């Protein structure tokens, strides 16, 4: 079998003191492995000297690909830019702040060789602020694991390894790079994790705080919704609408019952209000469901997006 080539993808934003040692560490680690590789550093609109340093590095090492984004788009889009440019068979994103260790790459590859499609790093001994970062992240990880049904300990670790076919074509939004293993698993990929080293940040500052946990949870809702209902939004909206109709019907019954048997006038209880509210909510949800159905059809039909994914074919065209 042809030797698999690697693409290391690193988004950086204001990491001027990290890019040189980073490049050195990566080169050391990968050269000793003897596998063909490329390194793609995406400069996510840095405002310090990062761009200049990268320019010099790229001049000296033509295996280093550098992509400068126009402005700061965020870690996920920057990673996406790297993924789009990658030509390797195995894609390995990592952080550019020296918190990940490129020496862990062989461990990830060994797992891929066992037959997995995605290997996620797990920072067993995470070196970030215990209260501000590690605790919320632990809670978020539990929640993601529970909701997604894909059981990993550390979705947020950037150091992961993907087979090309799994990640090419995936579109990432918001903070969603961490959910790629989940998408992949939902689509039938074999996903696992391995412990990786994590170092404290020495140069530069972290770009995130607590608000990221909230964004991650909101993204999780989107991901779950897209997985479950993107093809049939009416089942969610319409289902909710029917439930509210049922509630309003029951409350209406209660209202009549109180009137007839307990002689309570309609305006003595909040029931008429509740009945109106639930009925309205029911109509609104069903109409929203219909609109979502139209959007979904526009999405699939205008772009000729299939509603299935083929794993492989036999005796058809374009096989490898
Ligand atoms: N990063 C980026 N664009 C941003 C924010 C961060 O490319 O808008 C990069 C950053 O330079 C680093 C990686 O994403 O290489 C992870 O960021 P950071 O270390 O701040 O996150 P933490 O490790 O604290 O979760
Ligand atoms: Mg970091």
CATH number at residue 189: 3.90.550.10
**214 and 253 part of one domain:** no
Task: Please give the residue range of the domain that contains residue 67.
Answer: 6-229
Q: Among 62-66, 133-137, 265-269, 299-303, whose mean pLDDT is lowest?
A: 299-303
Predicted confidence at residue 95, as pLDDT, reads 96
**166 and 242 part of one domain:** no
**270 and 173 part of one domain:** no
Q: Evaluate if residue 107 carries a pLDDT over 90.
A: yes
* Nearest CA owner, ligand 1 atom 24: 206
Write down the mean pLDDT value for the chain.
92
**99 and 10 part of one domain:** yes
CA–CA separation, 93 and 88 (whole Å): 12
CA–CA separation, 213 and 174 (whole Å): 12
Residues with CB under 6 A from ligand 1: 11-13, 15, 44, 72, 74-75, 78, 95-97, 99, 206-208
Mean pLDDT of the region 242-252: 97
Q: Evaluate if residue 86 carries a pLDDT over 70.
A: yes
- Which band of pLDDT confidence, cut at 50, 70 and 90, is reported for residue 2? low
Nearest ligand 1 atom to the CA of 44 is 7
Between CA 10 and CA 176, with CA 86 as vertex, the angle to 5 degrees is 55
- Which band of pLDDT confidence, cut at 50, 70 and 90, is reported for residue 1? low
Q: How far is the CA of 36 from the centre of ligand 2 (A)?
A: 27
CA–CA separation, 261 and 239 (whole Å): 33
Nearest ligand 1 atom to the CA of 15 is 11
Predicted confidence at residue 131, as pLDDT, reads 87
Predicted confidence at residue 7, as pLDDT, reads 97
Token output for 290: 């219909």
Q: Among 43-47, 70-74, 225-229, whose mean pLDDT is lowest?
A: 225-229
**217 and 246 part of one domain:** no
Higher pLDDT, 128 or 283: 283
Nearest ligand 1 atom to the CA of 212 is 25
**128 and 174 part of one domain:** yes
Q: How far is the CA of 14 from the centre of ligand 1 (A)?
A: 9
Predicted confidence at residue 56, as pLDDT, reads 95
Strands 191-196 and 118-123: parallel
Domain assignment present for residue 308? The answer is: no
Of 229, 259, 288, the residue at which a domain comes to its end is 229
**210 and 272 part of one domain:** no
CA–CA separation, 292 and 161 (whole Å): 35
CA–CA separation, 155 and 168 (whole Å): 19
Domain assignment present for residue 44? The answer is: yes
User: What is the percentage of the chain residues whose pLDDT exceeds 70?
Assistant: 98
Q: Evaluate if residue 192 carries a pLDDT over 90.
A: yes
**135 and 173 part of one domain:** yes
Domain assignment present for residue 163? The answer is: yes
For the entire predicted model, the pTM comes to 0.84
Helices vs. strands in the chain: H and E counts, helices first:
10, 7
Of 229, 249, 282, the residue at which a domain comes to its end is 229
Place of tokens 């219909």: 290
Instruction: Report the number of distinct structural domains present in the chain.
Output: 2
Q: How far is the CA of 111 from the centre of ligand 1 (A)?
A: 26
**157 and 53 part of one domain:** yes
**71 and 190 part of one domain:** yes
Q: How far is the CA of 130 from the centre of ligand 1 (A)?
A: 18
**161 and 283 part of one domain:** no
Domain assignment present for residue 75? The answer is: yes
Strands 160-163 and 90-93: antiparallel
Domain assignment present for residue 1? The answer is: no
**204 and 92 part of one domain:** yes
| pLDDT tens-place string over residues 254-300 | 999 999 999 999 988 999 999 999 999 999 999 999 999 999 888 87
């Amino acid at each position: 079998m042809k030797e698999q080539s690697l693409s290391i993808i690193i988004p950086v934003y204001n990491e001027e003191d990290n890019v040189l040692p980073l490049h050195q560490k990566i080169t050391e680690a990968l050269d000793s492995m003897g596998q063909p590789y490329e390194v793609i550093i995406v400069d996510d609109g840095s405002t310090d000297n990062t761009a200049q340093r990268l320019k010099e590095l790229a001049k000296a090492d033509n295996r280093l690909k550098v992509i400068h984004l126009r402005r700061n788009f965020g870690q996920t889009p920057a990673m996406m830019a790297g993924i789009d440019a990658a030509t390797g068979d195995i894609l390995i994103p990592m952080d550019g702040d020296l918190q990940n260790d490129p020496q862990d790459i062989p461990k990830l590859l060994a797992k891929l060789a066992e037959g997995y499609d995605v290997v996620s790093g797990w920072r067993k001994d995470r070196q970030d602020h215990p209260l501000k970062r590690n605790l919320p992240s632990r809670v978020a990880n539990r929640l993601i694991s529970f909701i997604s049904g894909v059981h990993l300990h550390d979705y947020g670790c950037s150091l992961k390894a993907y087979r090309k076919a799994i990640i090419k074509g995936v579109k990432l939004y918001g903070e969603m790079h961490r959910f790629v293993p989940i998408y992949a698993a939902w689509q039938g990929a074999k996903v696992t994790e391995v412990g990786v080293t994590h170092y404290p940040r020495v140069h530069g500052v972290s770009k995130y705080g607590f608000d990221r946990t909230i964004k991650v949870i909101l993204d999780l809702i989107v991901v779950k919704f897209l997985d479950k209902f993107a093809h049939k939004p009416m089942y969610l909206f319409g289902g909710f609408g029917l439930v509210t109709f049922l509630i309003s019907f029951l409350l209406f019954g209660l209202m009549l019952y109180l009137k007839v048997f307990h002689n309570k006038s309609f305006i003595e209880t909040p029931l008429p209000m509740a009945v109106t509210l639930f009925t309205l909510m029911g109509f609104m949800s069903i109409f929203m469901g219909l609109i979502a159905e139209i959007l979904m059809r526009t999405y699939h039909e205008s772009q000729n997006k299939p509603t299935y994914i083929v794993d492989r074919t036999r005796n058809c065209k374009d096989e490898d």
